[in-house]
Amino acid sequence: MHPAPSVIIFTVLSGIGFGLLGFLGLGFPSVTGWVAFAFFAIAYLLAVGGLLASTLHLGNPQRALRAFTQWRTSWLSREGWFAVAALLIMAVYGGGLVFFETSIIALGWIGAALCVATIYATSMIYGQLKTVPRWNHWTTSLLFLGYSLTGGALLSGTTTIATYLLAALGIVQFVYWTLGDKRFVDRGHTQGTATGLGGLGDVRMLEPPHTGTNYLLKEMVYRIGRKHAQKLRVIGILMMSVVPFALLVTLDAGHLIGAVVVLLHLAGAFVTRWLFFAEAEHVVGLYYGK
């Protein structure tokens, strides 16, 4: 799949933003006044900035409000509702902390649950697609929730939880890659089933339908960079999990180490999210012999 920068930025940033909002909703860290304002500002910048970035890849963003109408069937629509609900509830909760020094605990919990629901809905946009076997698995949701919670824990300064989450996320990411590598073949999609001609013999593409490229090839048969996938996997997992974990375990987490850990994790998350898209194989490639 084509790794569109707008979608990578959206999923990484808004994921971390909602993760941080979730932690704030649960009272990690327990802050009020201007400190609370700073935390909430960062969370909203990430969450809302990410959502805005996602509209950049739309063909007609001026109609984006229509995306709220089909929540009965569409995970993309549900994501929109959960996101708006989470942002509104957390605004009220955050307003209480910043301006009135009051924590409406129930509201914080509801807001945190909505943040998790938002991330889950985002993950299901990809996880629901049977056409992309690598994504079409419950571990996609686990992965997205893992990135969100880890990022949120790091940004909220909840160091102990963040340390555990960094380790867990590294394992989840590794398992996700290992399981995902086999799934396309395991599902049995071949040029034979795609054309229905598999019963007659070995099917091979002889001539593509067009000499140039097209939307399908650019969007769904993206193959550039797959040859570096293994190197990028190692770089990604080192930056987003192993090194930050080692730093937090061995050093006292001050602001400087904290900042280094957050930046490392974020950079690593961009690498692995790029791979999430670039490595995903769509079944339509079978019609093009790929």
Partner 1 sequence: MTSLPTETAKKLGLVIDLDTCVGCHACVVACKGWNTQGYGAPLSDQDPYGESPSGTFLNRVHSFEVKPAEAPAQLVHFPKSCLHCDDAPCVTVCPTGASYKRAEDGIVLVNEDACIGCGLCAWACPYGAREMDQAEGVMKKCTLCVDRIYNENLPEVDREPACVRTCPSGARHFGDFADETSNVSKLVAERGGFDLMPELGTKPVNKYLPPRPKDQAVEEFDILAPLLEPVATDAGGFLGWLDKALERI
What distance in Å separates the CA atoms of residue 10 and residue 23, rounded to the nearest whole number?
A: 20
Q: What is the 3-state secondary structure (H, E, C) of 156-195?
A: CCCHHHHHHHHHHHHHHHHHHHHHHHHHHHHCCCCHHHHH
Q: Which of 6, 32, 74, 103 binds partner 1 (CB under 8 A)?
A: 74
Q: Do the beta carbons of residue 90 and residue 58 sit within 8 Å? A: no
Residues 168-227 contacting partner 1, CB under 8 A: 187-189, 191, 193-197, 199-210, 212-216, 219-220
Residue 6 touching partner 1 (CB under 8 A)? no
* Greatest extent of the chain over all pairs of C-alpha atoms, in Å: 74
> CA neighbours within 13 Å on the CB side: how many for 16?
26
In this complex, which beta carbon is closest to partner 1, that of residue 274 or of residue 288?
Answer: 288
| Distances 97 to 82, 149, 184, 282 between C-alpha atoms, Å | 22, 22, 49, 46
Nearest CA among 113, 119, 133, 131 for reference residue 78: 119
- Rounded Cα distance between 25 and 48, Å, is 17
Listed ranges 64-72, 91-99, 109-117, 265-273: which one lies at the site for partner 1 (CB under 8 A): 64-72
Q: Which is nearer to partner 1, 155 or 221 (CB)?
A: 221
CB of 276 to partner 1, least distance (A): 14
CB nearer to partner 1: give 130 or 228. Answer: 130
**Residue 85 touching partner 1 (CB under 8 A):** no
Q: 103-142 mask for partner 1 (x: CB under 8 A)?
A: ----------------------x--xxxxx----------
Q: State in angstroms the smallest separation of the CB of 222 from partner 1.
A: 12
Nearest residue to 43 via CA among 132, 155, 154, 149: 155
Alpha carbon 255 to its chain centroid, in Å, reads: 26
Residues 244-283, one symbol each (x = binds partner 1 by CB under 8 A, - = not), give --------------------------------------xx
- Cα 233 to its chain centre, rounded Å, is 16
Of 54 and 163, which CB lies nearer to partner 1 in the complex structure? 54
The minimum distance between CB 278 and partner 1, in angstroms, equals 15
Residue 35 half-sphere exposure, CB side, CA atoms within 13 Å?
9
Residues that bind partner 1 (CB under 8 A): 1, 57-61, 63-64, 66-70, 72-77, 80, 125, 128-132, 187-189, 191, 193-197, 199-210, 212-216, 219-220, 282-284, 287-288
